[in-house]
Structure 1
Amino acid sequence: MGKIISVCNQKGGVGKTTTAINLASFIALAGKKVLLVDCDPQANATSGIGFDKREIKESIYDVLINEKQISQLLANTKVTNLWLAPSNLELTGIEVELVSIEGREFRLKNALETIKSSFDYIFLDAPPSLGLLTINALTACDSTLIPLQCEYYALEGLSQLLNTINLVRQNLNPALEIEGVLLTMADFRTNLTSEVIKEAREFFKDKVYNTVVPRSIKLSEAPGFGLPIILYDKNSQGAKSYYEFSKEFLGEDLQIEFEAKEEKEIQDGEESIRQGA
């Protein structure tokens, strides 16, 4: 039975989608069967893994609102062993539509139950908000991974998220755990980064991963090419950091295949999304 991990932070620009894409990719390239579910109306995980979000005909929206089988959305990506359940702009207004639906908080959970056994890991890229999409992600997951940017007020901004996690645990998902906290966008030339790292470790204790992801131009560039960092620039500091994080996350060494799939290998997956299979 696969483990479901949501990647959450209500603040944007903290490396949430970057973490979801790259952790999922490294684990997939290490031989695990992985699904990335894009729950964000911005669809950055969808475009960041190589799909044109403007061409997506059916998305996670259809699963949550129309009860479409999520298995019908899954598409191959350029990364071996990694599948995508995409998002598109239809998701933008879904909060209003979900409000009137009975059992709205469990829509994603119910959908994932039908395919959970087919994957080793399922990663949910939640939106940078604490609305019903994030509630669905937290209700559906076994644990949540929190990327934390090494910037001013980083910890203060987490109070709402932690309160939401506690509410979900009390009312919707009693088994929900915090998987861990990943420090991102670190600039080791500044005292601020050291201070945030220290404060995070004092507050979250052993929940903070040893790996700290630095600011990286290559990490910022990779989504524009629809590639995880390992396939964009495997020698970059960003690739090395997410490799180390993936080892830490799994608790084991990784044997990685570095080559992207040939276009013909992913063609069917892309076409299935465009046609709304």
Structure 2
Amino acid sequence: MRKLIIFALVGFFAQLIDGSLGMAFGLTSSSLLLAYGVAPAVASASIHMSEIATTAASGISHFKFGNVNKRMALLLVIPGAISAFLGAAFLSSIPGDMIRPYISTFLLILGLYIFIRFLFFHSPDSITETSHGKPSLLTKKRLLFPLGAAAGFFDAIGGGGWGPINTPVLLSVKQANPREVIGTVDTSEFVITIAATLGFVLFLGWEQFNWFWVIAFVIGGVFAAPLAAWLVRKMPGYLLGVLVGGFIVLTNLNTLFKASGVNPLVATYGYVFVIFAWLIGIIYSIKKGRK
């Protein structure tokens, strides 16, 4: 029962962050499961199964709040669903012990990217700013097709990646509406999740899913989804980005240290350094937001 509550709380806060930033449910959940020693394919499969419910709740909430660009979502979903299915097939064919360090490295890099981006390159007001222009590039196939394909593949093999790859790129486009970008990425993830889950079911089998984790993440995520869709206009996204980025780096650093057999003393110094940098980043973000 204690584990159920803990995992449900992780699912709640992961979805709260994901719905507010357009990223990080899969990365946060996957990082936690890999730290527990779960095989990457099983972790990603279980997370994607739970995300069918959480992304559905998130998508409905964003749609009701008017945060979705339908054309952008469609152009992301078509290549994203295909590549997510292929990514699930690829991950399912590789032994878990062999690929776990590489997946953790991928997640750590994404976590570091999120941390740095929201610490230094994300103004305190940008998450709630809106633009009333017509961002043409955001509805063009030449951007959305390759972007969706890359994000779908890495989402499947990493247990997360749809948001961290799509959201920053789309937000960097001139005249992008942050609220619309986040809502569209979150809503379109529902289809990507179904495609990846189908791939895992076909290539892993139902017995490989851990239904305890699935139920726990669903309970927490579904409760958080409507709140996150509302908070996307209110919450300081720069601070959430710093918080989740540091968490992802720390948990995956632990997995990498264990896999590579790093000396415990060296590992301790590494943890202290990361935690210290994380705290400095949080304090800096809070001070930046007050200016």
Normalized per residue, which structure has more helix?
2
TM-score class normalised by the smaller sequence: under 0.3
Q: Greater relative contact order: 1 or 2 (C-alpha under 8 angstroms, separation 6 or more)?
A: 2
Normalized per residue, which structure has more strand?
1
